[in-house]
Amino acid sequence: MFRYATIPLLCLLVFLPSSRLAQDKPETPEPESATIQLTECLVLPSVGKYGRSPVHIDALEALILEGKFSNPKPGDAVVNSDGESIAWQSATAGDDGWIRGDDYRGANAFWVVPSDKEQTVLLHARGHSWVYANGIPHAGDPYGFGYVRTPVRLKKGDNTFLFGMGRGSLKAELQLLGDAPPRLVFGRDWTLPDLVVGQQPAKQMFGAVDVINTTESTLEIVPLVVGVSPLKMNERYTGVRVSVPAMSCRKVEVPIPVQGEVINAEYEYELSMIEPKGESIHLDNSLATTSFTVKVVDPTQARRVTFRSDIDGSVQYYGLRPAVPLGNDSAKPGIVLSLHGAGVEGIGQARAYSPKSWCHIVCPTNRRPFGFDWEDWGR
């Protein structure tokens, strides 16, 4: 039985190749665990009409809504809106693990995974717009950045995964968590500021990272941060208590303590997500622990500046190329906003400019690398 939910797709409009610069995200180490790779599946070439519209036509979705979808076999056909019969076909992943095909743009992929027991796994898929895991819909990773890891409960027997392939390619694997899986897992989607040499932050700085709840109950957590270097800060800083819903993920705000003026060295921190017991916050109750590094830049360099969104309270950032005055010029510089295009985050956009004497250049990042595609929607 499929539970249907509409999942918005991102659209790609603007390309700015001249400012396409490499983005530098902190890496969360990959846990060592067994995986099940998607190597063979069935693919149904597109039976829909999409485009940049809030409404689309899809014959396969219509079958799901009507309760008429059943597990396909090679050669089974779906009739599209033009009356054409489109058949499911066998597909095999290439040596790089990707499923690709000349007519796979907007296609669907169907993958069956047998399991000898009930167990919780993490689905790591890239290139998909959405996925139904055993009939339950989940958001996808249409641009293939690798940020999305979805907790899925496998049943004993065959488990089904129906993907919307979006741009025409798909890669997927299931990360097995073992018989005693961790209740909370760190993701890879970090949002961190840069520190500036010689400056003393006027207020508490903060970043954010996604965490994944692998249990079937809501988890209450409090982030606890300890500064490790360069100043060997032993004080513990706690963040805001948040709830992470069952079998889901959430981006969690993380405090970043800085003592005194920033020196020219990377700042390293240890982060634990603590399950509070009443009002007590103890490391003994840590559900997950990791480390992260905050980079340091010179006063004239482009930098990331984090802030708390007034829209939803989430941690976001913008890129800043600060003004560099000429000589003894004491005039206050102006501010210029620069909107980035596809594949360039705000920091990449800021780095594409040389410093100006007369203005600060501020580059909002619109929450993801595929930037101000729809400027009315950008935040």
For residue range 96-129, what is the model confidence (pLDDT) as tens digits? 999 999 999 999 999 999 999 999 999 999 999 9
Q: What confidence tens digit (pLDDT) does each residue in 225-235 have?
A: 999 988 666 67
Q: What is the mean pLDDT of residues 197-226?
A: 94
DSSP label at residue 67: T
The yes-or-no verdict on residue 23 having pLDDT over 70 is no
pLDDT at 24: 54
Q: Please give the Cα distance from 45 to 49 (Å, whole number).
A: 12
Give the residue among 235, 224, 119 at the shortest CA–CA distance from 178.
119
Q: 191 or 364: whose pLDDT is higher? A: 191
Protein fold of 34-176: Jelly Rolls (2.60.120)
Q: Name which of 312, 313, 378 is nearest 349 in CA terms.
A: 378
More confident residue, 20 or 46: 46
Q: Given pLDDT bands bounded at 50, 70 and 90, which one contains residue 138?
A: very high
* Nearest-10 Cα torsion for 36, 42, 47, 51: 30
Higher per-residue confidence, 369 vs 182: 182
* Model pLDDT, residue 376: 53
**What is the pLDDT at residue 20?**
33
Please say whether the beta carbons of 201 and 263 come within 8 A.
no
Domain ranges of the chain: 34-176, 181-294, 298-379
Segment 335-346 shows an average pLDDT of 85
Residue 270 has pLDDT above 80, yes or no: yes
- How far lies 18's CA from each of 24, 32, 352, 356, in Å? 18, 38, 8, 19
* Rounded Cα gap, residues 236 and 73, in angstroms: 57
94 pLDDT above the threshold of 50: yes
Looking at residue 233, what is its pLDDT?
A: 61
Q: Which residue has the tokens 């103890």?
A: 282
Handedness of CA 9, 370, 39, 48 (dihedral sign): positive
The angle subtended at Cα 112 by Cα 106 and Cα 118, nearest 5°, is 130
- Which helix (H) or strand (E) segment holds residue 60: the answer is helix 59-65
Output the pLDDT for position 32: 57
CATH class of 181-294: mainly beta
Percent of the chain scoring above 70 in pLDDT:
87
Tens-place pLDDT, residues 235-262? 789 999 999 999 999 999 999 999 889 9
Is pLDDT at 373 greater than 60 in this prediction? no
pLDDT given at position 378: 53
Give 31 or 204, the one with higher predicted confidence: 204
Q: What are phi and psi of 228, to 5 degrees?
A: -100, -50
